Amino acid sequence: MADKWNDGREDRDKQEIAGQGKVKETPENDLIDERYEIIEGVRYDFLSSPAYAHQQVLRDLILGFHQNCAKDGEVLFAPLDVHFDEDNIFQPDLIYIANANRGIMRDGYIYGAPDLVVEILSASTGCRDKTIKKNGYEKFGVREYWLVDPVHRFVEQFVLMDGKYAAVATLTEEQTLTSPTVPCLHLNLGDILREDEGNDESEAKDKQGKVKETPENYLIDERYEIIEGVRYDFLSSPIYAHQRVLAKLYLAFHNGCAADGEVLFAPLDVHFDENNIFQPDLIYIANTNRGIIRDGYIYGAPDLVVEILSASTGRRDKTIKKNGYEKFGVREYWLVDPVHRFIEQFVLLEGKYAAVATLTEEQTLTSPTVPCLNLNLGDILREDEGNDESEAKDKQGKVKETPENYLIDERYEIIGGVRYDFLSSPVYAHQRVLGELHFAFRNDCAADGEVLLAPLDVHFDENNIFQPDLIYISNANRGIIRDGYIYGAPDLVVEILSASTGRRDKTIKKNGYEKFGVREYWLVDPVHRFLEQFVLMDGKYAAVATLTEEQTLTSPTVPCLSLKLEGIFPPEDQPI
């Protein structure tokens, strides 16, 4: 087994990250975390995305623990830091903490030894799990440790005896696992280790191998771009001004050009080649070019892309991304500055971008690439109370976007004091539904309130900072928009389900919206093509309707809205 997992990659990984630093959480760097571990003072990056089989096993283990032991302890899962000391910060796949040991959970992390941890072997981390991590768990007193092999379908069970791990069992799918550490647990391994067609890890590439989204790894990737083979994380949440400009641009394209092409917006991957996977803020694809939309993403050059400058991405947008769009033949590129209120317009001429105009809010923009468009920039760029970036605070209360940290923050939510990263990029269907919903709200209700789109922070309190997919704020409630973010409960929020966030949307986020008084909540399922509508009644959500594409939705919270759902979902023949 050791040969299978150790193909030399462990040593390469260690060499690649040498010198990058080991202290994971300090006041100086708490905005710059990437997914990695520190073991005996050495940083080890998580360089590949787990395959489908890994995530399937993890899901079933979590379910097994929860069904058997929910009253006896807490079951948690990666990525969550377990701090043994400053030189040893691990991220097990699964963590079990007995009620008697709950004191190790504080400040959003774990400080001390869980009762039991599980690692699920993969090609990129298996050697580490079987050697230095096993030694670490033993050293720091984790009472029980499991190694799960999803390919060969067995579990190795180690129990701490006199300070050393004893290999007490190697169990296969025909057997049942019981635990001296977790006596409430009774696991039928046939339910955990069943063979499945998704069990082949061979195609799951790491983030340096550029394959970003495949059926095997779509649950666990992070939001980033690859430009000339280099990964660039999306390191902060846009502020209100950025999202307002994006919403208005989307509406203008949709109003002027819906019959001529498709308008989509971030976060959606545009694959130019394996070394260049971009996420523009706004994407326009003419009908004649629709063939580049396939398998839920975009493969090839859109006709026009837009980037809205922010402190964290502006430099990239103006340099390497501009060069990339030029190289791969994007016919037109706009750079929008929402602070200084102008647009730079570039058009591809003989393979090079020509700067054809710099336009201010007093002017009108026309496009040689999108002739259906006639854009009054006063409607897009007007000054607004939310347009000051200087007060943009991060979720811990610190300045989120500064020249010093613009490459290092990440996109996440805080729910009940726990950080939840956004771990994958939405697919075409998700963004299509979001765009249509936004258009419907703007069409019906522009005079009655404000509709905004993710990613935009909604601050309920310091322990609860959410990023809904769509936000509606009535005019009477506009006071919650201040300092570039939202502070308080919107009138209505919408979440569009995806594999990576659906569980959160249906459970802890729904509970949070209810707790903090969001009057109406929708859950939209773009795969099964229905919408669940919840309305707050006496402080609790009532499920008032489950609507399909044949029906029309009306809202007690937003009476101006009448939504024909057949227009929301993508055509049946489009990729999900």
pLDDT digits (tens, 9 = 90+) for 513-555: 999 999 999 989 887 788 889 999 999 888 888 888 888 999 9
Q: What is the pLDDT of residue 374?
A: 92
Across the range 436-460, mean pLDDT stands at: 89
Name the token pair of 555.
Answer: 């809202």
Name the nearest CA neighbour of 304 among 355, 354, 369, 257: 369
CA angle (504 as vertex; 58, 573 as ends), nearest 5: 90
185 shares a domain with 303: no
- Higher-scoring residue by pLDDT: 384, 43: 43
Flag whether 215 is in a domain: no
158 shares a domain with 21: yes
Q: Which of 257-261, 384-388, 565-569 shows the lowest mean pLDDT across its residues?
A: 384-388
Flag whether 311 is in a domain: yes
- Higher-scoring residue by pLDDT: 398, 428: 428
Flag whether 498 is in a domain: yes
Q: Which of 85-89, 206-210, 408-412, 529-533 shows the lowest mean pLDDT across its residues?
A: 206-210
Q: What is the pLDDT of residue 140?
A: 96
- Higher-scoring residue by pLDDT: 204, 225: 225
Flag whether 575 is in a domain: no
Across the range 389-403, mean pLDDT stands at: 30
How many independent structural domains does the chain possess?
3
506 shares a domain with 461: yes
Q: Which long-range contacts (CB under 8 A, 24 or more apart) does 447-451 make?
A: 447/560, 448/474, 448/475, 448/558, 448/560, 449/473, 449/474, 449/475, 449/477, 449/478, 449/491, 449/558, 450/475, 450/478, 450/481, 451/247
- Out of 331, 364, 381, pick the residue that ends a domain: 381
| Dihedral angle of Cα 368, 373, 374, 379, to the nearest 10 degrees | -130
554 shares a domain with 456: yes
What does pLDDT average to over the chain?
A: 78
Check if the beta carbon of residue 115 is closer than 8 Å to that of residue 98: yes
- Higher-scoring residue by pLDDT: 28, 437: 437
**pLDDT tens-digit series, residues 263-288:** 887 778 899 998 899 989 999 999 99
Q: Which of 49-53, 397-401, 548-552, 568-572 shows the lowest mean pLDDT across its residues?
A: 397-401
Q: What is the pLDDT of residue 541?
A: 87
Question: pLDDT band at 483, cuts 50/70/90?
Answer: confident
Q: Which residues pair with 265 in a beta bridge?
A: 282
Name the nearest CA neighbour of 516 among 477, 472, 458, 452: 458
264 shares a domain with 161: no
Flag whether 49 is in a domain: yes
Report the half-sphere exposure of 554 (CA within 13 A, side-chain side): 3
Q: What is the pLDDT of residue 318?
A: 82
Residue 252, number of CB atoms within 10 A of its CB: 19
Question: pLDDT band at 235, cuts 50/70/90?
Answer: low
Check if the beta carbon of residue 100 is closer than 8 Å to that of residue 74: no
Check if the beta carbon of residue 30 is closer than 8 Å to that of residue 166: no
**pLDDT tens-digit series, residues 117-169:** 999 988 777 778 888 899 999 999 999 999 998 877 888 899 999 999 888 88
- Higher-scoring residue by pLDDT: 168, 183: 183
342 shares a domain with 251: yes
Q: What is the pLDDT of residue 254?
A: 83
Q: Which of 37-46, 227-236, 465-474, 506-515 shows the lowest mean pLDDT across its residues?
A: 227-236
Residue 190, number of CB atoms within 10 A of its CB: 13
Name the nearest CA neighbour of 400 among 455, 335, 451: 455
Q: Residue 373 pLDDT > 80, yes or no? A: yes
* CATH number of the domain to which 61 belongs: 3.90.1570.10
Percent of the chain predicted with pLDDT > 90: 34
Domain that holds residue 527: 411-567
377 shares a domain with 493: no
Question: pLDDT band at 400, cuts 50/70/90?
Answer: very low
158 shares a domain with 15: yes
DSSP-based three-state secondary structure for 24: coil
Chain length of the chain: 576
Name the nearest CA neighbour of 154 among 129, 180, 120: 120
- Out of 192, 216, 238, pick the residue that ends a domain: 192
- Out of 381, 402, 428, pick the residue that ends a domain: 381
Q: Residue 396 pLDDT > 70, yes or no? A: no
Name the token pair of 154.
Answer: 């067995």
442 shares a domain with 345: no
63 shares a domain with 15: yes
Flag whether 390 is in a domain: no
Flag whether 199 is in a domain: no
418 shares a domain with 375: no
Residue with tokens 């339910």: 191
Question: pLDDT band at 203, cuts 50/70/90?
Answer: very low
159 shares a domain with 11: yes
Across the range 102-115, mean pLDDT stands at: 88
Q: Which of 53-67, 89-103, 214-228, 535-549 shows the lowest mean pLDDT across its residues?
A: 214-228
Question: pLDDT band at 572, cuts 50/70/90?
Answer: low
Flag whether 212 is in a domain: no
